[in-house]
Structure 1
Amino acid sequence: MTIHPIKAFSDNYIWVIEEGTEAVIVDPGEARGVIGYLVEKNLELKAILLTHNHDDHIGGVQEILVTYPGISIYGPEETSSLANHIVVEGDSFNLLNKNFNVIKTAGHTDGHISYLAKKILFCGDALFSAGCGRVFTKDYQAQYDALQKFNQLDDEVLVYAAHEYTQTNLRFSQAIEPSNKVISEVLVKTNDLRTKGQPTLPTTIGREKKINLFLQANSLEDFKELRQARDLF
Protein backbone atom coordinates (compact mmCIF):
# COMPACT_ATOMS: atom_id res chain seq x y z
CA MET A 1 0.00 0.00 0.00
CA THR A 2 1.22 3.47 -0.88
CA ILE A 3 -0.35 6.81 0.07
CA HIS A 4 0.01 9.86 -2.13
CA PRO A 5 -1.00 13.48 -1.37
CA ILE A 6 -2.87 15.57 -3.89
CA LYS A 7 -2.65 19.24 -3.04
CA ALA A 8 -5.89 21.21 -3.10
CA PHE A 9 -6.79 24.84 -2.38
CA SER A 10 -4.14 26.63 -0.32
CA ASP A 11 -3.26 23.93 2.20
CA ASN A 12 -5.50 20.84 1.83
CA TYR A 13 -4.26 17.34 1.19
CA ILE A 14 -6.49 14.81 -0.54
CA TRP A 15 -5.01 11.40 0.22
CA VAL A 16 -4.90 8.65 -2.40
CA ILE A 17 -4.51 5.16 -0.96
CA GLU A 18 -3.13 2.80 -3.60
CA GLU A 19 -2.87 -0.97 -3.72
CA GLY A 20 -1.76 -2.31 -7.08
CA THR A 21 -4.04 -0.77 -9.69
CA GLU A 22 -6.80 0.14 -7.22
CA ALA A 23 -7.27 3.32 -5.22
CA VAL A 24 -9.34 4.88 -2.44
CA ILE A 25 -9.64 8.66 -2.04
CA VAL A 26 -9.92 10.46 1.31
CA ASP A 27 -11.79 13.80 1.59
CA PRO A 28 -11.80 15.04 -2.02
CA GLY A 29 -12.57 18.72 -1.66
CA GLU A 30 -12.09 19.19 -5.37
CA ALA A 31 -12.12 16.81 -8.32
CA ARG A 32 -9.72 17.92 -11.04
CA GLY A 33 -6.48 16.91 -9.32
CA VAL A 34 -7.98 13.60 -8.22
CA ILE A 35 -9.28 12.60 -11.64
CA GLY A 36 -6.05 13.72 -13.29
CA TYR A 37 -3.96 11.60 -10.94
CA LEU A 38 -6.14 8.51 -11.30
CA VAL A 39 -6.02 8.75 -15.09
CA GLU A 40 -2.27 9.41 -15.16
CA LYS A 41 -1.56 6.39 -12.95
CA ASN A 42 -4.24 4.24 -14.59
CA LEU A 43 -5.86 3.53 -11.22
CA GLU A 44 -9.33 2.09 -10.66
CA LEU A 45 -11.20 4.10 -8.03
CA LYS A 46 -12.88 1.74 -5.57
CA ALA A 47 -14.21 4.09 -2.87
CA ILE A 48 -14.19 7.50 -1.25
CA LEU A 49 -13.81 8.07 2.49
CA LEU A 50 -15.28 11.22 4.03
CA THR A 51 -14.44 12.42 7.55
CA HIS A 52 -16.93 15.29 7.81
CA ASN A 53 -19.17 17.58 5.80
CA HIS A 54 -17.10 20.72 5.22
CA ASP A 55 -16.98 21.70 1.58
CA ASP A 56 -13.19 21.61 1.32
CA HIS A 57 -13.48 17.89 2.11
CA ILE A 58 -16.53 16.89 0.07
CA GLY A 59 -16.78 19.50 -2.69
CA GLY A 60 -15.29 17.31 -5.40
CA VAL A 61 -17.38 14.20 -4.82
CA GLN A 62 -20.19 14.93 -7.29
CA GLU A 63 -17.79 15.69 -10.12
CA ILE A 64 -15.75 12.56 -9.37
CA LEU A 65 -18.95 10.50 -9.55
CA VAL A 66 -19.56 11.69 -13.10
CA THR A 67 -16.35 9.93 -14.13
CA TYR A 68 -16.58 7.08 -11.61
CA PRO A 69 -20.29 6.37 -11.05
CA GLY A 70 -21.54 3.82 -8.58
CA ILE A 71 -18.50 3.70 -6.30
CA SER A 72 -18.81 3.22 -2.55
CA ILE A 73 -18.71 6.38 -0.43
CA TYR A 74 -18.19 6.00 3.31
CA GLY A 75 -18.92 8.81 5.72
CA PRO A 76 -20.72 9.96 8.87
CA GLU A 77 -24.42 10.84 8.97
CA GLU A 78 -23.66 14.49 8.26
CA THR A 79 -22.42 13.45 4.79
CA SER A 80 -25.57 11.45 4.00
CA SER A 81 -26.34 13.57 0.93
CA LEU A 82 -23.26 11.96 -0.67
CA ALA A 83 -22.33 8.83 1.27
CA ASN A 84 -24.02 5.53 0.45
CA HIS A 85 -22.39 3.79 3.43
CA ILE A 86 -23.10 5.68 6.66
CA VAL A 87 -20.64 4.59 9.33
CA VAL A 88 -20.39 5.18 13.07
CA GLU A 89 -17.81 4.52 15.75
CA GLY A 90 -17.06 0.84 16.06
CA ASP A 91 -17.90 0.03 12.45
CA SER A 92 -15.28 -1.60 10.26
CA PHE A 93 -15.06 -2.46 6.57
CA ASN A 94 -12.53 -3.87 4.14
CA LEU A 95 -11.00 -1.96 1.23
CA LEU A 96 -7.85 -2.77 -0.73
CA ASN A 97 -7.40 -5.85 1.49
CA LYS A 98 -7.14 -3.59 4.55
CA ASN A 99 -9.55 -3.36 7.46
CA PHE A 100 -10.68 0.20 8.20
CA ASN A 101 -12.02 0.96 11.68
CA VAL A 102 -14.21 3.99 12.35
CA ILE A 103 -13.50 6.28 15.31
CA LYS A 104 -15.79 9.13 16.34
CA THR A 105 -13.66 12.25 16.64
CA ALA A 106 -16.21 15.03 16.97
CA GLY A 107 -15.74 18.64 18.02
CA HIS A 108 -14.68 20.18 14.72
CA THR A 109 -18.12 19.09 13.51
CA ASP A 110 -20.79 17.15 15.38
CA GLY A 111 -20.26 13.96 13.41
CA HIS A 112 -16.58 14.05 12.47
CA ILE A 113 -15.01 10.60 12.20
CA SER A 114 -11.54 9.20 11.56
CA TYR A 115 -10.43 5.99 9.88
CA LEU A 116 -7.76 3.70 11.30
CA ALA A 117 -6.29 1.00 9.08
CA LYS A 118 -3.88 -0.88 11.36
CA LYS A 119 -0.98 1.62 11.65
CA ILE A 120 -2.45 4.30 9.36
CA LEU A 121 -4.80 7.07 10.54
CA PHE A 122 -6.86 9.39 8.34
CA CYS A 123 -8.10 12.01 10.78
CA GLY A 124 -9.45 14.83 8.61
CA ASP A 125 -9.49 18.01 10.69
CA ALA A 126 -9.62 16.34 14.12
CA LEU A 127 -5.84 16.18 14.51
CA PHE A 128 -3.00 18.04 12.82
CA SER A 129 0.72 17.89 13.33
CA ALA A 130 1.30 20.00 16.46
CA GLY A 131 -2.37 20.99 16.50
CA CYS A 132 -6.02 20.09 16.16
CA GLY A 133 -9.04 21.46 14.35
CA ARG A 134 -11.06 24.49 15.39
CA VAL A 135 -13.97 23.55 17.62
CA PHE A 136 -16.72 25.03 15.46
CA THR A 137 -19.37 23.15 17.45
CA LYS A 138 -18.19 24.77 20.73
CA ASP A 139 -18.29 21.24 22.12
CA TYR A 140 -14.80 21.30 23.61
CA GLN A 141 -15.51 18.14 25.55
CA ALA A 142 -16.06 16.22 22.31
CA GLN A 143 -12.81 17.48 20.82
CA TYR A 144 -10.92 16.78 24.05
CA ASP A 145 -12.35 13.26 24.08
CA ALA A 146 -11.20 12.78 20.49
CA LEU A 147 -7.67 13.77 21.44
CA GLN A 148 -7.66 11.21 24.23
CA LYS A 149 -8.57 8.53 21.68
CA PHE A 150 -5.60 9.59 19.57
CA ASN A 151 -3.37 9.51 22.66
CA GLN A 152 -4.28 5.86 23.16
CA LEU A 153 -3.06 4.81 19.71
CA ASP A 154 0.31 3.17 19.20
CA ASP A 155 3.25 5.51 18.74
CA GLU A 156 3.98 3.94 15.33
CA VAL A 157 0.64 4.96 13.83
CA LEU A 158 1.13 7.23 10.83
CA VAL A 159 -1.07 10.33 10.90
CA TYR A 160 -2.46 11.61 7.59
CA ALA A 161 -4.17 14.88 8.46
CA ALA A 162 -6.03 16.93 5.87
CA HIS A 163 -4.17 20.25 6.09
CA GLU A 164 -0.61 21.55 5.93
CA TYR A 165 -0.77 23.52 9.18
CA THR A 166 2.40 22.18 10.82
CA GLN A 167 4.51 25.29 10.47
CA THR A 168 1.94 27.65 11.98
CA ASN A 169 1.05 25.17 14.72
CA LEU A 170 4.68 24.85 15.74
CA ARG A 171 5.15 28.61 15.77
CA PHE A 172 2.19 28.85 18.11
CA SER A 173 3.60 26.05 20.28
CA GLN A 174 6.97 27.77 20.42
CA ALA A 175 5.28 30.99 21.54
CA ILE A 176 3.59 29.06 24.36
CA GLU A 177 6.71 27.08 25.31
CA PRO A 178 9.75 29.06 24.07
CA SER A 179 12.20 26.88 26.01
CA ASN A 180 10.89 23.60 24.55
CA LYS A 181 13.89 22.32 22.58
CA VAL A 182 11.98 19.49 20.88
CA ILE A 183 9.43 21.88 19.41
CA SER A 184 12.17 24.29 18.30
CA GLU A 185 14.13 21.49 16.60
CA VAL A 186 11.06 20.17 14.79
CA LEU A 187 10.17 23.69 13.66
CA VAL A 188 13.62 24.07 12.06
CA LYS A 189 13.13 20.80 10.15
CA THR A 190 9.60 21.82 9.20
CA ASN A 191 10.77 25.18 7.85
CA ASP A 192 13.31 23.36 5.71
CA LEU A 193 10.68 21.00 4.29
CA ARG A 194 8.31 23.83 3.48
CA THR A 195 11.07 25.88 1.85
CA LYS A 196 11.60 22.92 -0.46
CA GLY A 197 7.85 22.63 -1.08
CA GLN A 198 7.66 19.24 0.61
CA PRO A 199 4.81 18.02 2.86
CA THR A 200 5.35 17.74 6.60
CA LEU A 201 2.92 14.81 6.69
CA PRO A 202 2.52 12.07 7.59
CA THR A 203 3.59 12.51 11.18
CA THR A 204 3.32 9.80 13.83
CA ILE A 205 1.36 9.52 17.06
CA GLY A 206 4.63 9.12 18.92
CA ARG A 207 6.00 12.33 17.49
CA GLU A 208 2.76 14.17 18.19
CA LYS A 209 2.86 13.11 21.85
CA LYS A 210 6.15 15.03 22.06
CA ILE A 211 5.25 18.18 20.13
CA ASN A 212 1.47 18.52 20.17
CA LEU A 213 0.42 20.70 23.11
CA PHE A 214 -3.23 19.82 22.52
CA LEU A 215 -2.54 16.13 23.02
CA GLN A 216 -0.59 17.03 26.15
CA ALA A 217 -3.41 19.05 27.76
CA ASN A 218 -4.11 17.51 31.16
CA SER A 219 -7.70 18.69 31.49
CA LEU A 220 -10.64 19.97 29.51
CA GLU A 221 -10.06 23.43 30.95
CA ASP A 222 -6.43 23.45 29.86
CA PHE A 223 -7.37 22.26 26.39
CA LYS A 224 -10.11 24.88 25.99
CA GLU A 225 -7.76 27.68 27.04
CA LEU A 226 -5.10 26.47 24.64
CA ARG A 227 -7.52 26.07 21.74
CA GLN A 228 -8.95 29.55 22.23
CA ALA A 229 -5.42 30.99 22.31
CA ARG A 230 -4.62 29.20 19.06
CA ASP A 231 -7.77 30.65 17.47
CA LEU A 232 -6.38 34.13 18.12
CA PHE A 233 -2.82 33.38 17.02
Structure 2
Amino acid sequence: MRVHPIKAYDDNYIWLIQPGSDNTVIVVDPGDAEPVKDWLKRHDARVDSYFITHHHWDHTDGLEPLLDDFPAPVFGPRDSRIKAIDHPLSEGEQVQRLGKTFDVLATPGHTLDHISFHHHGFLFCGDTLFSGGCGRMFEGNPEMYVESLKKLRRLPGDTRVFCAHEYTQANLTFAKLVEPNNAVLHSYLEKIKLMRQQQQVTLPSSMQLELAINPFLRFDQTAVIAAAEEHAGQSLNGDAEVFATIRQWKDNA
Protein backbone atom coordinates (compact mmCIF):
# COMPACT_ATOMS: atom_id res chain seq x y z
CA MET A 1 0.00 0.00 0.00
CA ARG A 2 1.51 3.32 -1.06
CA VAL A 3 0.79 6.62 0.65
CA HIS A 4 1.50 9.97 -1.01
CA PRO A 5 1.90 13.28 0.87
CA ILE A 6 0.23 16.36 -0.57
CA LYS A 7 1.46 19.60 0.97
CA ALA A 8 -1.19 22.20 1.84
CA TYR A 9 -1.12 25.60 3.53
CA ASP A 10 2.04 26.23 5.57
CA ASP A 11 2.52 22.82 7.16
CA ASN A 12 -0.45 20.52 6.48
CA TYR A 13 -0.23 17.13 4.82
CA ILE A 14 -3.13 15.60 2.95
CA TRP A 15 -2.49 11.88 2.55
CA LEU A 16 -3.49 9.93 -0.55
CA ILE A 17 -3.72 6.19 0.12
CA GLN A 18 -3.14 4.02 -2.95
CA PRO A 19 -3.92 0.43 -1.95
CA GLY A 20 -3.53 -1.20 -5.35
CA SER A 21 -1.56 -0.96 -8.57
CA ASP A 22 -4.13 1.21 -10.33
CA ASN A 23 -4.50 4.97 -9.85
CA THR A 24 -7.38 4.83 -7.38
CA VAL A 25 -6.85 6.63 -4.07
CA ILE A 26 -8.43 7.39 -0.73
CA VAL A 27 -8.04 11.05 0.24
CA VAL A 28 -7.39 11.75 3.94
CA ASP A 29 -8.27 15.15 5.45
CA PRO A 30 -8.44 17.34 2.33
CA GLY A 31 -8.12 20.80 3.84
CA ASP A 32 -7.31 22.32 0.45
CA ALA A 33 -8.81 21.07 -2.80
CA GLU A 34 -6.41 22.53 -5.37
CA PRO A 35 -3.20 20.57 -4.64
CA VAL A 36 -5.26 17.37 -4.51
CA LYS A 37 -6.95 18.15 -7.82
CA ASP A 38 -3.56 18.89 -9.38
CA TRP A 39 -2.16 15.54 -8.21
CA LEU A 40 -5.21 13.60 -9.37
CA LYS A 41 -5.11 15.17 -12.82
CA ARG A 42 -1.33 14.74 -13.21
CA HIS A 43 -1.60 11.06 -12.32
CA ASP A 44 -4.87 10.45 -14.15
CA ALA A 45 -6.22 9.15 -10.85
CA ARG A 46 -9.69 8.71 -9.46
CA VAL A 47 -11.00 9.00 -5.90
CA ASP A 48 -12.52 5.96 -4.25
CA SER A 49 -13.46 7.70 -1.00
CA TYR A 50 -12.56 10.38 1.53
CA PHE A 51 -11.49 9.84 5.16
CA ILE A 52 -11.99 12.71 7.64
CA THR A 53 -10.48 12.64 11.14
CA HIS A 54 -12.09 15.74 12.66
CA HIS A 55 -13.97 18.92 11.88
CA HIS A 56 -11.22 21.57 11.80
CA TRP A 57 -11.21 23.67 8.64
CA ASP A 58 -7.67 22.76 7.58
CA HIS A 59 -8.82 19.14 7.34
CA THR A 60 -12.19 19.69 5.68
CA ASP A 61 -12.34 22.91 3.63
CA GLY A 62 -11.33 21.19 0.40
CA LEU A 63 -13.88 18.43 0.74
CA GLU A 64 -16.91 19.95 -0.96
CA PRO A 65 -14.91 21.45 -3.89
CA LEU A 66 -13.34 18.04 -4.44
CA LEU A 67 -16.71 16.33 -4.34
CA ASP A 68 -17.88 18.58 -7.17
CA ASP A 69 -15.20 17.17 -9.49
CA PHE A 70 -14.48 13.81 -7.84
CA PRO A 71 -17.67 12.55 -6.15
CA ALA A 72 -17.13 9.63 -3.75
CA PRO A 73 -18.31 8.40 -0.33
CA VAL A 74 -17.13 10.40 2.69
CA PHE A 75 -16.24 8.57 5.92
CA GLY A 76 -15.72 10.54 9.11
CA PRO A 77 -16.82 11.23 12.68
CA ARG A 78 -20.41 11.65 13.76
CA ASP A 79 -20.30 15.44 13.76
CA SER A 80 -22.98 17.65 12.26
CA ARG A 81 -20.37 20.35 11.62
CA ILE A 82 -19.04 18.29 8.68
CA LYS A 83 -21.96 18.45 6.27
CA ALA A 84 -20.49 16.24 3.54
CA ILE A 85 -20.05 13.08 5.63
CA ASP A 86 -22.44 10.41 4.40
CA HIS A 87 -20.87 7.50 6.31
CA PRO A 88 -20.54 8.57 9.98
CA LEU A 89 -18.27 6.37 12.07
CA SER A 90 -17.75 5.44 15.70
CA GLU A 91 -15.20 3.49 17.76
CA GLY A 92 -14.92 -0.15 16.77
CA GLU A 93 -16.44 0.16 13.33
CA GLN A 94 -14.56 -0.84 10.19
CA VAL A 95 -14.29 0.69 6.74
CA GLN A 96 -13.61 -1.64 3.83
CA ARG A 97 -12.26 0.09 0.75
CA LEU A 98 -10.26 -1.18 -2.23
CA GLY A 99 -9.65 -4.55 -0.61
CA LYS A 100 -8.32 -3.05 2.65
CA THR A 101 -9.98 -2.94 6.06
CA PHE A 102 -9.49 0.13 8.23
CA ASP A 103 -10.34 0.03 11.92
CA VAL A 104 -11.92 3.16 13.37
CA LEU A 105 -10.41 4.37 16.64
CA ALA A 106 -12.08 7.09 18.69
CA THR A 107 -9.20 9.41 19.67
CA PRO A 108 -10.73 12.50 21.30
CA GLY A 109 -8.65 15.12 23.07
CA HIS A 110 -7.61 17.56 20.37
CA THR A 111 -11.31 17.71 19.48
CA LEU A 112 -14.23 15.70 20.84
CA ASP A 113 -15.11 14.23 17.45
CA HIS A 114 -11.61 13.06 16.52
CA ILE A 115 -11.21 9.58 15.05
CA SER A 116 -8.21 7.78 13.57
CA PHE A 117 -8.00 5.14 10.84
CA HIS A 118 -5.75 2.10 11.28
CA HIS A 119 -4.86 -0.64 8.82
CA HIS A 120 -2.12 -3.20 9.60
CA GLY A 121 0.97 -1.03 9.85
CA PHE A 122 -0.64 2.26 8.81
CA LEU A 123 -2.13 4.85 11.18
CA PHE A 124 -3.83 8.02 9.96
CA CYS A 125 -4.23 10.00 13.16
CA GLY A 126 -4.94 13.57 12.05
CA ASP A 127 -3.95 15.91 14.88
CA THR A 128 -4.20 13.49 17.83
CA LEU A 129 -0.56 12.45 17.56
CA PHE A 130 2.34 14.19 15.85
CA SER A 131 5.91 13.06 15.49
CA GLY A 132 7.44 14.19 18.77
CA GLY A 133 4.21 15.79 19.95
CA CYS A 134 0.43 15.86 19.98
CA GLY A 135 -2.31 18.30 19.05
CA ARG A 136 -3.43 21.10 21.32
CA MET A 137 -6.26 20.18 23.66
CA PHE A 138 -9.02 22.36 22.20
CA GLU A 139 -12.15 20.46 23.25
CA GLY A 140 -11.14 17.45 25.31
CA ASN A 141 -9.64 17.03 28.78
CA PRO A 142 -6.39 15.43 29.94
CA GLU A 143 -8.01 12.17 31.06
CA MET A 144 -9.69 11.76 27.69
CA TYR A 145 -6.55 12.61 25.75
CA VAL A 146 -4.40 10.19 27.75
CA GLU A 147 -6.84 7.37 27.04
CA SER A 148 -6.65 8.15 23.32
CA LEU A 149 -2.85 8.11 23.41
CA LYS A 150 -2.80 4.86 25.37
CA LYS A 151 -4.96 3.35 22.65
CA LEU A 152 -2.40 4.37 20.03
CA ARG A 153 0.50 3.16 22.19
CA ARG A 154 -0.94 -0.35 22.02
CA LEU A 155 -0.52 -0.53 18.24
CA PRO A 156 2.43 -2.58 16.95
CA GLY A 157 5.78 -0.82 17.03
CA ASP A 158 6.21 -1.01 13.25
CA THR A 159 2.99 0.94 12.69
CA ARG A 160 3.74 3.91 10.46
CA VAL A 161 2.32 7.14 11.81
CA PHE A 162 0.83 9.47 9.20
CA CYS A 163 -0.10 12.65 11.04
CA ALA A 164 -1.34 15.82 9.43
CA HIS A 165 1.32 18.48 10.09
CA GLU A 166 5.02 19.06 9.56
CA TYR A 167 5.73 19.93 13.19
CA THR A 168 8.49 17.40 13.83
CA GLN A 169 11.47 19.70 14.32
CA ALA A 170 9.62 22.11 16.61
CA ASN A 171 8.16 19.24 18.60
CA LEU A 172 11.52 17.57 19.12
CA THR A 173 13.11 20.85 20.13
CA PHE A 174 10.51 21.09 22.91
CA ALA A 175 10.89 17.40 23.78
CA LYS A 176 14.58 18.09 24.54
CA LEU A 177 13.45 20.46 27.29
CA VAL A 178 11.49 17.62 28.87
CA GLU A 179 14.13 14.92 28.38
CA PRO A 180 17.55 16.55 27.91
CA ASN A 181 19.30 13.21 28.50
CA ASN A 182 17.33 11.19 25.95
CA ALA A 183 20.04 10.05 23.51
CA VAL A 184 17.60 8.68 20.93
CA LEU A 185 15.78 12.02 20.90
CA HIS A 186 19.02 14.01 20.45
CA SER A 187 20.14 11.84 17.56
CA TYR A 188 16.78 11.93 15.81
CA LEU A 189 16.51 15.71 16.12
CA GLU A 190 19.84 16.13 14.34
CA LYS A 191 18.58 13.90 11.53
CA ILE A 192 15.34 15.89 11.29
CA LYS A 193 17.23 19.21 11.12
CA LEU A 194 19.15 17.95 8.09
CA MET A 195 15.96 16.70 6.45
CA ARG A 196 14.20 20.02 6.92
CA GLN A 197 17.18 21.95 5.57
CA GLN A 198 16.55 20.01 2.37
CA GLN A 199 12.77 20.54 2.61
CA GLN A 200 12.17 16.81 3.01
CA VAL A 201 8.98 15.39 4.50
CA THR A 202 9.74 13.98 7.98
CA LEU A 203 6.76 11.62 7.96
CA PRO A 204 5.68 8.94 8.43
CA SER A 205 7.20 8.21 11.80
CA SER A 206 6.74 4.87 13.56
CA MET A 207 5.08 3.98 16.82
CA GLN A 208 8.30 2.39 18.09
CA LEU A 209 10.20 5.62 17.45
CA GLU A 210 7.49 7.78 18.99
CA LEU A 211 7.50 5.67 22.15
CA ALA A 212 11.22 6.49 22.47
CA ILE A 213 11.12 10.24 21.76
CA ASN A 214 7.62 11.66 22.23
CA PRO A 215 7.00 13.08 25.73
CA PHE A 216 3.24 13.01 25.17
CA LEU A 217 3.43 9.23 24.84
CA ARG A 218 6.00 8.92 27.63
CA PHE A 219 3.91 10.49 30.43
CA ASP A 220 4.51 7.44 32.64
CA GLN A 221 8.30 7.43 32.28
CA THR A 222 10.38 8.43 35.31
CA ALA A 223 12.34 11.16 33.51
CA VAL A 224 9.21 12.72 32.05
CA ILE A 225 7.36 12.65 35.38
CA ALA A 226 10.34 14.29 37.10
CA ALA A 227 10.56 17.03 34.46
CA ALA A 228 6.82 17.70 34.65
CA GLU A 229 6.92 17.92 38.45
CA GLU A 230 9.90 20.26 38.36
CA HIS A 231 8.13 22.48 35.84
CA ALA A 232 4.91 22.45 37.89
CA GLY A 233 6.73 22.98 41.16
CA GLN A 234 4.72 20.25 42.85
CA SER A 235 4.06 16.53 42.90
CA LEU A 236 1.72 15.22 40.22
CA ASN A 237 -0.73 12.37 40.66
CA GLY A 238 -1.27 10.09 37.71
CA ASP A 239 -0.80 10.07 33.97
CA ALA A 240 -3.39 12.76 33.24
CA GLU A 241 -1.75 15.33 35.51
CA VAL A 242 1.66 14.68 34.00
CA PHE A 243 0.23 14.92 30.47
CA ALA A 244 -1.67 18.12 31.28
CA THR A 245 1.47 19.73 32.71
CA ILE A 246 3.54 18.88 29.64
CA ARG A 247 0.77 20.04 27.31
CA GLN A 248 0.50 23.40 29.12
CA TRP A 249 4.29 23.70 29.12
CA LYS A 250 4.36 23.17 25.34
CA ASP A 251 1.47 25.60 24.79
CA ASN A 252 3.42 28.34 26.56
CA ALA A 253 6.90 27.46 25.28
TM class, shorter-length = over 0.9
Q: 2:134 aligns with which of 114, 117, 132?
A: 132
Mapping of 1:15-30 within 5 angstroms?
A: 15-18=15-18, 19=20, 20-30=22-32
User: Deviation at 1:44?
Assistant: 1.2
Q: 1:203 aligns with which of 184, 202, 205?
A: 205
Partners of 2:6 and 2:70 lie apart in 1 by 18
Once the two structures are superposed, residues 88-133 of structure 1 have per-residue CA deviations (whole angstroms, 9 ceiling, x without a partner) of: 0000021121101100000111110000011100000000001111
Largest Rg, 1 or 2: 2
Larger CA deviation: 22-31 vs 133-142: 133-142
| Residue equivalent to 1:222 | 242
| Residue equivalent to 1:186 | 188
Secondary structure of 1:163's counterpart equals coil
- 1:148 matched to 2:150: yes
Q: Confirm or deny: 8 A CA contact 2:108 2:140 kept in the other structure.
A: no
Q: Confirm or deny: 8 A CA contact 1:122 1:159 kept in the other structure.
A: yes
Once the two structures are superposed, residues 16-37 of structure 1 have per-residue CA deviations (whole angstroms, 9 ceiling, x without a partner) of: 0112221100000000000110
User: Deviation at 1:80?
Assistant: 4.2
Mapping of 1:75-94 within 5 angstroms?
A: 75-78=76-79, 79-94=81-96
Once the two structures are superposed, residues 163-219 of structure 1 have per-residue CA deviations (whole angstroms, 9 ceiling, x without a partner) of: 011100000011222222111100000001101110110000000000011101021
| Residue equivalent to 2:252 | 232
With the length of structure 2 as denominator, give the TM-score of the two structures.
Answer: 0.90
| Residue equivalent to 2:3 | 3
User: Deviation at 1:77?
Assistant: 1.2
What is the Cα-based RMSD across aligned positions, in Å?
0.9
Aligned residue identity for 2:188: V
Q: Confirm or deny: 8 A CA contact 1:80 1:86 kept in the other structure.
A: no
- Where in structure 1 are there 5+ consecutive unaligned residues? none
Q: Percent identity?
A: 39
Once the two structures are superposed, residues 39-98 of structure 1 have per-residue CA deviations (whole angstroms, 9 ceiling, x without a partner) of: 1111110100000000000000011011012x1000001254110000000000211211
With the length of structure 1 as denominator, give the TM-score of the two structures.
Answer: 0.97
Partners of 1:221 and 1:123 lie apart in 2 by 23
